[in-house]
Amino acid sequence: MKPISRLDMFDHAERVLKINDMGTYTVPTHGLYPFQWNWDSCLTALGQAHFDEHRAWTEIDTLFQHQWEDGMVPHIVFHKQDKGYFPGPDVWQTGRTVPTSGITQPPVAGYVVKRLVDHARDPDLAEARARDLVPKIARWHEWFHACRDPKKTGLVAILHPWESGRDNSIDWDDAFSRVPTDGVGEFKRRDTSHADAAHRPTDEQYKRYIWLVQRFRSLNWDNTRLHDASPFQVVDPGFNAILIRSVADIAELAERYGMTGIAQMSRRHVAEGLAALESLWDDRLGQYVCFDRPAGRKVDSASIGGILPVFAAIPLERVQQLATRIEALKARVEYLIPSHDPADPRFESLRYWRGPVWLIINHMIIDGLVRGDVPDLIARITSDSIRLIEEGGFAEYHDPLTAEPCGGGTFSWTAAMIMEFLQ
């Protein structure tokens, strides 16, 4: 791969977003991911706003046009047929006119919409679009609280590793081992024909991913039933922090726009979420950890999902503790922040969410660290992120030891995040 100079990097990032632009939505990368992905789209909009605010708003509008009647916003919208991806609409069978998957993804939309509003060069456009989106995003948040926290614990569970956005994280290994594979049948993966199989989830994991899809499909994607019917229910601190942050940002926008009911309800959920998040703190690791609901125990796994809570308004003392945690990782990698601690023997520097660096995560963690007094650490994560692109290009993710580019190339959210880092 040709190195990318810092001088040309911003323009290069813009070109990546234009290459992946399908008009009203953006694909993460052609070939490997030929549809619209939920959190990819929202984070991509942050990049698009640097050169075309109108286009950025359209990205999010398109996603919300496919919101389900129950409030869920699906993780994939299959706008066009494409045989290059598995599992496609024929596997999901969600029965929608424009097919979608039947699960969701980390709800970054609330955060992104507020950021677009706060940085808008065209505030009238931003207010008009945000006024339309705030009630829709609030409905999605309510869906989470109703369907993924049925016992009102203050925290939501994911029912499929794909919902976390961190597909094959070590966090899921234990809970996932209880997901059966019987009756899954034969299928042909497509991802490994676009990307190196050694950088991807294993076949065994794919069988379990599909088993869960088939289980939910057999329940007609009825979200009032899926939670209790799933053998996989994991409370991920990173996912919950993203939800809490987005709910807080929507509360603020709702207040600004006189949407009092949404503001009040959202503030209540933020308070409950932040209080409950503390139950996931792990003193030994100095970070948060997941909770496996059916097993009734915390998960011993030092992943980035336990550092991501810095993105929500956790106590300042916790922000400092998480900064210390990242400082410790500095000695173990060349480029911050690895998605898993290399001190854990299960760490794999090249395999997807089991070690590699993802710029979207660096972006959210930097945003949260601003509340702490750690400017040097913020500068270090920012410069490591830029160095990764200089050395490895706009890849999906990178090896934290060598900067080797992994997964898909010419990747939308990587480009969008670089525009944010360079601004």
Find, among 2, 22, 73, 27, the residue nearest to 416 by Cα.
Answer: 27
- 311 near 367, Cβ under 8 Å? yes
Q: Find the part of the chain contacting ligand 9YW (CB under 6 A) among 37-45, 64-72, 246-254, 372-380.
A: 37-45
Which one is catalytic: 59, 292, 396, 399?
396
Using the rule CB under 6 A, which residue among 33, 68, 216, 335 binds ligand 9YW? 33
Min dist CB 360 to ligand 9YW, Å, is 8
Could you tell me the smallest distance in angstroms from the CB atom of residue 76 to ligand 9YW?
A: 7
The two tokens of residue 417 are 């995040």
167 is a catalytic site residue: yes
What six digits make up the tokens of 6?
A: 């810092």
Quick note: the x/- pattern for ligand 9YW over 160-189, rule CB under 6 A, is --x--x-x----------------------
Output the smallest distance, CB 345 to ligand 9YW, in A.
23
Contacts of 132 (CB under 8 A, 6+ apart): 61
Q: Does 28 bind ligand 9YW (CB under 6 A)?
A: yes
Which stretches does DSSP call E strand in 25-136? 36-37, 76-77
In 3D space, the residue among 64, 78, 58 whose CA is nearest the CA of residue 143 turns out to be 64
Which of 211, 222, 121 is CA-nearest to residue 160?
211
Between 10 and 33, name the residue whose CB sits nearer to ligand 9YW. Answer: 33
User: Does 102 contact ligand 9YW by CB under 6 A?
Assistant: no
Q: Which is nearer to ligand 9YW, 9 or 416 (CB)?
A: 416
Question: If binding means CB under 6 A, how many residues of this protein chain bind ligand 9YW?
Answer: 8
Report the residue number, 165 or 405, with the smaller CB distance to ligand 9YW.
165
Work out how close the CB of 40 gets to ligand 9YW at its nearest, in angstroms, rounded to a whole number: 5
Question: Minimal distance in Å, beta carbon 33 to ligand 9YW?
Answer: 5
Min separation Cβ 333 and ligand 9YW, Å = 20
Contact assessment for residue 140 and residue 71, using Cβ atoms and an 8 Å cutoff: yes
Please report, as residue ranges, which positions from 40 to 69 form the binding site for ligand 9YW (by CB under 6 A).
40
Residue among 46, 116, 8, 77 nearest 414 (CA): 46
Nearest residue (CB) to ligand 9YW, 167 versus 404: 167
Phi, psi of 122 (to 5 degrees): -120, 85
Q: In what helix (H) or strand (E) does residue 214 lie, and over which residues does it extend? A: helix 203-218
Residue 111 touches ligand 9YW, criterion: CB under 6 A: no
Is residue 397 a contact residue for ligand 9YW (CB under 6 A)? Answer: no
What does the radius of gyration of the chain's CA atoms come to, in whole angstroms? 20
Catalytic site includes residue 53: no
Q: Are strands 291-292 and 297-298 parallel, antiparallel or unpaired?
A: antiparallel
Q: 48: which residues sit within 8 A by CB, 6+ positions away?
A: 17, 26, 55, 56, 59, 416
Catalytic residue among 163, 167, 399, 404: 167
Give start and end residues of each alpha helix (H) in 233-315. Answer: 237-256, 260-277
- Rounded Cα distance, 264 and 246, in Å: 14
Work out how close the CB of 57 gets to ligand 9YW at its nearest, in angstroms, rounded to a whole number: 20
Provide the binding-site residues for ligand 9YW, judged by CB under 6 A.
Answer: 28, 33, 37, 39-40, 162, 165, 167
Residues involved in catalysis: 167, 396
